[in-house]
Amino acid sequence: MKQSELFTKTRKEAPADETSKNAELLIRAGYIHKEMAGVYDLLPLGVKVVENIKEIVRQEMNAIGGQELMMSSLQSKDIWTTTQRWDDDVVDVWFKSELKAGGEIGFGWSHEEPITEMMKNHLSSYKDLPVYVYQFQNKFRNELRAKSGMMRGREFVMKDMYSFSLDAEQHEAFYQKTIDAYHRCYRRLGIGNDTFVTFATGGAFTEFSHEFQTICEAGEDEIYINREKGIALNQEVYNEKTLKDLDVAENELEKVRTAEVGNIFNFGTRKCEEMDLYVNDEAGNRIPVHLGSYGIGVTRIMGVIAEKFSDDKGIVWPEEIAPFTVHLVTFGKNENIFREAENLYHDLKNAGIEVLFDDRDIGPGQKLNDADLMGMPYRIVVSEKAAEKGGVEITKRSTGDIEFVDPARVIAHLTEG
């Protein structure tokens, strides 16, 4: 894409009412637009980042047997009343509205009840199980405070998956597969080394759950970790009994601040019993289905990465989720240099390398500052000065390392490392 065709502009300052670092950077760099506290629009660059995150997650969910669907955000009061979770004293984050035809609806904060109701039309026999379905969809949560930018929004994109299993053994096998798949997701997203599966309470979902927490100074949670044993505890379940059960001593744990980037819940058969989702087993007995729920906060991950992987100049995107691999910059009035930059732009595109070409008629300082702020993995400068030093200047954003490379060798340099 040519930057002159991109309608969004970078900004020197974020909105005065924005206090979170991740949102400030994403707004200034032209990835998001703030509508109100906790509500952000994704601009073209932001959409590309989110789609790249979704594709990584989609590949890993498909690899463990997930089938993608898309459900409505509008939810029936009747379904949630069945399980008592329509009650604001049980779930305190509902957005609700009145239908003109009469009656109440809710805006989806989760989908356990609607997906279970749907499955009553498709599951009747043990032969129909297991089933694993997932979606990417906007969720709505009426948070009291939304001060962490993209890391805690009132509307956000989530991947939520639901497993329907015949028995506890079948459920536990998939539950562990999902934990492994989540670890693969976070490694590919660039946060694997700092993300821990954490024993926690289940809140409005279940008695206990597992959270995936990423070390982040701007996070809202505190957990206790033992890196060697791979143990992590949420503060809510940090007590002597839990420590004994996990065979870990208090002095072996390190307290860190984190942001939650995923969670998984085991509902057992309770939810399906409440909603009358039963199947016939091999003997013809009617038995309740085991339900699991598995979430990944897609836009929250975007915020966490912007928060963690940034410096005083701007964002530093991991290569797998950056909107473009290369930010191609040229300046000066030399027509031959500009033509060389255009040729390189087309060569990169033809090689399948995503490239943003800054062809704008502005000064070099603004171009370089914008490239640092926007955070593509590689910046390539085509200029007279670079040509005098042997080619084009390639800067790796994550390290600041600079190399001068013959234009004919640029693609090989990028693809061969």
* 87-146 residue pLDDT tens: 999 999 999 999 999 999 999 999 999 999 999 999 999 999 999 999 999 999 998 887
Note whether 79 and 198 are same-domain residues. Answer: yes
Q: For the chain, what is the mean pLDDT?
A: 94
Q: How confident is the model at residue 274 (pLDDT cuts 50, 70, 90)?
A: very high
Mean pLDDT value across residues 197-208: 69
Decide if 216 contacts 308 (C-beta within 8 A). Answer: yes
In the prediction, which pLDDT does 203 show?
57
Q: How far is it, in rounded angstroms, from Cα 201 to Cα 223?
A: 13
Note whether 157 and 67 are same-domain residues. Answer: yes
Percent of the chain with pLDDT over 90: 87
Task: Note down the domain range covering 339.
Answer: 326-416
Note whether 145 and 238 are same-domain residues. Answer: yes
Mean pLDDT value across residues 336-351: 96
Note whether 201 and 340 are same-domain residues. Answer: no
Q: How confident is the model at residue 417 (pLDDT cuts 50, 70, 90)?
A: low
Strands 254-268 and 206-215: antiparallel
In the prediction, which pLDDT does 86 show?
96
For residue 163, being part of any structural domain is answered with yes
Mean pLDDT value across residues 281-289: 97
For residue 113, being part of any structural domain is answered with yes
Note whether 369 and 337 are same-domain residues. Answer: yes
For residue 186, being part of any structural domain is answered with yes
> Taking 90 as the threshold, does the pLDDT of residue 180 lie above it?
yes
In the prediction, which pLDDT does 200 show?
82
Note whether 185 and 47 are same-domain residues. Answer: yes
Of the candidates 335, 332, 315, the residue with the CA atom closest to the CA atom of residue 379: 315
The C-alpha angle with vertex 9 and arms to 404 and 401, in degrees rounded to 5, equals 20
In the prediction, which pLDDT does 145 show?
80
Note whether 285 and 334 are same-domain residues. Answer: no
Q: Among 249, 274, 308, identify where a domain stops.
A: 308
Note whether 23 and 120 are same-domain residues. Answer: yes
For residue 349, being part of any structural domain is answered with yes
Q: Among 278, 308, 338, identify where a domain stops.
A: 308
In the prediction, which pLDDT does 137 show?
96
For residue 315, being part of any structural domain is answered with no
Of the candidates 17, 5, 27, the residue with the CA atom closest to the CA atom of residue 303: 27
Q: Using one digit for the tens of pLDDT, what is the confidence trace for 228-248? A: 888 899 888 888 888 888 899
> Taking 80 as the threshold, does the pLDDT of residue 204 lie above it?
no
227: Cα separation from own chain's centroid: 23
Q: Among 252, 274, 308, identify where a domain stops.
A: 308
**CATH number reported for the structural domain that contains residue 411 in this entry:** 3.40.50.800
For residue 394, being part of any structural domain is answered with yes
Note whether 170 and 238 are same-domain residues. Answer: yes
**Token pair of 69, please?**
């669907």
For residue 392, being part of any structural domain is answered with yes
Note whether 385 and 294 are same-domain residues. Answer: no
Mean pLDDT value across residues 349-373: 96
In the prediction, which pLDDT does 202 show?
55
Note whether 285 and 360 are same-domain residues. Answer: no
Q: Which of 35-39, 201-205, 255-259, 371-375 has the lowest mean pLDDT?
A: 201-205
For residue 187, being part of any structural domain is answered with yes
Note whether 204 and 353 are same-domain residues. Answer: no
**CATH number reported for the structural domain that contains residue 31 in this entry:** 3.30.930.10
Q: How far is it, in rounded angstroms, from Cα 52 to Cα 229?
A: 32
As for how many domains the chain has, the answer is 2
SS3 string of the chain? CEHHHCCCCCCCCCCCCCCCHHHHHHHHCCCEEEEECCEEEECHHHHHHHHHHHHHHHHHHHHCCCEECCCCCEEEHHHHHCCCCCCCCCCCCCEEEECCCCCEEEECCCCHHHHHHHHCCCCCEHHHCCEEEEEEEEEECCCCCCCCHHHCCCEEEEEEEEEEECCHHHHHHHHHHHHHHHHHHHHHCCCHHHEEEEEEEECCCEEEEEEEEEECCCCCEEEEEECCCCEEEEHHHCCHHHHHHCCCCHHHCEEEEEEEEEEEEEEECHHHHHHCCEEECCCCCEEECEEEEEEEEHHHHHHHHHHHCECCCCECCCCCCCCCCEEEEECCCCHHHHHHHHHHHHHHHHCCCCEEEECCCCCHHHHHHHHHHHCCCEEEEECHHHHHCCCEEEEECCCCCEEEECHHHHHHHHHHC
